[in-house]
Every structure is written in C-alpha cells, then in structure tokens.
Amino acid sequence: MIVQVDNVWKRFGRLDALRGLSFSVHEGSVFALLGANGAGKTTTIKVLMNIVEPTIGDATVLGVNTRDVSHRELAQIGFVSENQEMPGRMTVSSYIDYLRPFYPSWDRALEADLLDELGLPPDRRIKDLSHGMRLKMALACALPFRPKLLVLDEPFSGLDPLVRDELLERLARHAGEMTILVSSHELAEIEHLTTHIAFLDRGKVLFQEALGDLRARLRQVRVTLDAEARAPATTPKEWLDVRAAGKVLSFVDTRFSERDLSARVAAVVGNARQIETQPVALRAIYTALARAVRDEKA
C-alpha cells in the first residue's frame, strides 16, 4: 500500500477532528477523499505529511510511519493545495531554479512542457499570479520530479471552469504514472478521474470502495404506482433516500440486482405499473449516504 491509515484519531483540545479513521490507497490508483467542508480531509492529509501527529492510531506513507516521514519520503511526494504558500517575491523561473537541485529525479523536459502548457510567465513574481495561476504553479513544481505519490488538497476550490479543466486534463495524463490522493468536496469535477473513493463524515470514513464497484451496485430507482405513493413505514436497509411524490416512489438501491428488483419492490409496495433505473452520479451517492448517516443519528 502507498498509504495505510489504521484507527487514527486526532484531537484538538476537546474537538475530535478524526475519529477512528481507517483507509488504504493502492499503488497506481487515483484515490479521492470526499466529504463536506469540516469532514476531516485536510487534517488527514496533515497527518500523512507529518505536519501533525495522530493522537491515537498509526498511518504509513510509502511504507514509513507518518511520525517518521523525512526528506527522503518527501522527495517522492508531490503536494498541491488551495492554500499553498510560496515565496511571493520570487519569479516563476527563479523558484523553479531553486527547487530543482532538491530532487535528483527532476525532469527538465517535463518542466519545460509544463511551464509552456500551463501558460506560466517565467518572469512574473509569484505574488502577482492569480489564484488559478498559483495553483498551476504549484502543479508545475510538483510534477517534474515524477513523484511516487501526488497529494492534492482541495485543488479546484474557487477556480474558474477553464482553469479547472486545464488542471484536470494535465492530471489525467499523469494518472497512470503515479498514485494520486485528492481531497475534494467538488464531487462532479473529479468523478471521471477517480478510481477509488472514501467518503468522510465528521472525521470518520463512511466507506471506501473502487468507484467501478460502487457504480455497479447502486442505482436510482423510480417506481410508478397506480395510486398515490406513500413512503413505506419500513423499507429494506439497502434502500436510501426514499421519497414519495404523486404516484412515484423513488430511492437509491445500494444492492442493485436487475434479476430480483421487481420482486423486492413488490414485497414492499405491491404491484408497480413501471420500474425505471439509472446510474447514480457521485454527488447523489454522497448525498444519499450522508442523509442516511444523519437520520441514523437523529
């Protein structure tokens, strides 16, 4: 595993920012930590980068306990964050020149390609770059040494669509060359890039799964009845976000099977005039799961 997190808790005073967090990231995957602001995504990344130590539990990055992460591991990890600090008085080219000697694997040809494709002005001071250009600059600093792990902390927050698409396109080109760990609440933007996901809610992982497996077992279901639809008093636990409107009962089926869907629907609501299914978008998956967790705690 490139990243392994086992029962990690992080406490700040009386606040438990992480509560028994566990997940693993396979080599070569694009792993997304998803969740609302405040779910614990940035704290998780700070633990992995040895910026903060876990209060309880252990985590490893590149086979090394995060408490022992040193320059040797950091030289193999690229990092891009929406709040990344860089020396504002330096120009784009002077900062690249400064970084280059720290990385023996630095690829000058890739550096030139990135600067050109991302449209970074070599003589512009970093403090004079726009928010989008600073994120491009961070990416141009993180990729030329071909890291084993690229960590992206909310990299698309506040970007205009054109800049976001340019960054996503560049990341997609390199997705097979390294392991990528990305935290984001912008679910739609990263859906096509991601291979594995973990949903975080208030410092805990709701679940982690390969995105392909998740899509295969979840469907949005619409059941049209002959009479006014009413939400059943009891529903199968695999049905989430059950709603009734007019003659239509809708829900997210988390254990979808085309073979027995009709029988399972009939067992709950009786005969149905029509049953329609469609794939569930990543945002809708998160919304349904978050509602289910909230309702359980209510």
At the fourth CATH level, the homologous superfamily of domain 3-210 is: P-loop containing nucleotide triphosphate hydrolases (3.40.50.300)
CB 99 within 8 A of CB 138: no
Buried residues in 201-233 as b, exposed as e (16+ CB within 10 A): bbbbbbebeebeebbeebbbbbbebeeebeeee
* Residue 48 C-beta-side C-alpha neighbours within 13 Å: 31
Q: How far apart, in whole angstroms, are the C-alpha atoms of residue 209 and residue 21?
A: 15
Q: What is the pTM of this model?
A: 0.86
State CA 96 to chain mean position distance. Answer: 28
In DSSP notation, 199-246 reads EEETTEEEEEEEHHHHHHH-EEEEEE-SS-----SS--TTEEEEEEET
Q: What is the pLDDT of residue 37?
A: 82
Q: Where exactly does CATH 3.40.50.300 map onto the chain? A: 3-210
- 């009479």: which residue's tokens? 227
Query: Per-residue confidence of the chain (298 residues) as pLDDT tens digits?
Result: 899 999 999 999 999 999 999 999 999 999 999 888 888 999 999 999 999 999 999 999 999 999 999 888 999 999 998 888 899 999 999 999 999 999 999 999 999 999 988 899 999 999 999 988 998 899 999 999 999 999 998 887 767 777 778 777 878 777 778 999 999 876 667 777 889 999 898 899 988 899 889 888 899 999 999 999 888 888 898 998 899 999 999 999 999 998 999 999 999 998 899 999 999 887 787 777 777 766 665 5
User: Which helix (H) or strand (E) element contains residue 57?
Assistant: strand 56-61
